[in-house]
Amino acid sequence: MGLLEQKVVIVTGGAQGIGLCAAERFAAEGAIVAIWDFNAEKGSVAESQLRQQGHDVRFQQVNVADMDSVKAAVQVLVAETGRIDVLVNNAGITRDASLLKMTEEQWQQVIDVNLGGVFHCSQAVAPVMVEQKSGCIINTSSVVGLYGNFGQTNYVATKSGVIGMTKVWARELGRKGIRVNAVAPGFIATDMVETIPENIIEQIVGRTPLARMGNPEDIANAYVYLASDLASFVSGTVLSVDGGLVL
């Protein structure tokens, strides 16, 4: 028996990177996994690969920045499975630029996906969990949401905002049987950090007590822990998974 046997889990941004790794981990723990992603091609490939491994996984093309798209996906999933136990708000994008160079479009795109998407998905899923009197929402923040980062006004604003929403929702939804937590990853070896110059990566690793970049599995394991009964009395917290990084 896995830690999440027959639990219905949504992973947004689940077609690649940390999201895909998380979908694999949840499936390995016995969960029924819904991969939500805007990229239909990568989503279909992820679904096929995990099904070939014997997992109960389905891909739904969802634009988390669009509430209608999110609500439609929730309706389909509930019709198919009857419930939603875990929502992992993992989807996120970057559009980096300094304050003096950032465009309105760069600002708004990141706000719409990273902040609006978390709001849309949580607001659409929460009523299902309230009716069940149980559920778990996990929001993905970032180490930069805690400490800031050069050239990421938009991204940092969203990741700090996610922490605030996590604490509000933990207060609002706790008595309804719903736990809400956030994970704040450090610098993780994914496509998102490939744009960071090698010398900067070396500096980051040098300031990390565990002396390495994180792996997607490190974050996926944190998601699984928070979603499981092992964390049944954990709510409103921000779990930093950053190797002890000191900025």
DSSP SS3 for 18: helix
Q: Please give the single-letter amino acid code of residue 58.
A: R
Which of the residues 147, 155, 223, 225 is marked catalytic? 155
Is residue 225 among the annotated active site residues? Answer: no
Are 21 and 183 a contacting pair, CB within 8 Å?
Answer: no
Tokens representing 146 are: 């805690």
**Rounded distance between C-alpha atoms, residue 216 and residue 190, angstroms:** 7
Give all strands (DSSP E) within the chain, no chain letters.
8-12, 32-37, 57-61, 86-89, 135-140, 178-185, 238-241
Q: Please give the single-letter amino acid code of residue 56.
A: D
Q: Which DSSP symbol is given to 16?
A: S
Does the CA dihedral 60-138-148-18 come out positive or negative? negative
Q: Which DSSP symbol is given to 62?
A: -
DSSP SS3 for 179: strand
Q: Up-side HSE of residue 79: CA atoms within 13 Å toward CB?
A: 6
**Rounded distance between C-alpha atoms, residue 110 and residue 154, angstroms:** 6
Which value, to the nearest 10 degrees, does the dihedral of the CA atoms of residues 197, 201, 207, 210 take? 170
**Rounded distance between C-alpha atoms, residue 63 and residue 13, angstroms:** 10
List the catalytic residues.
155
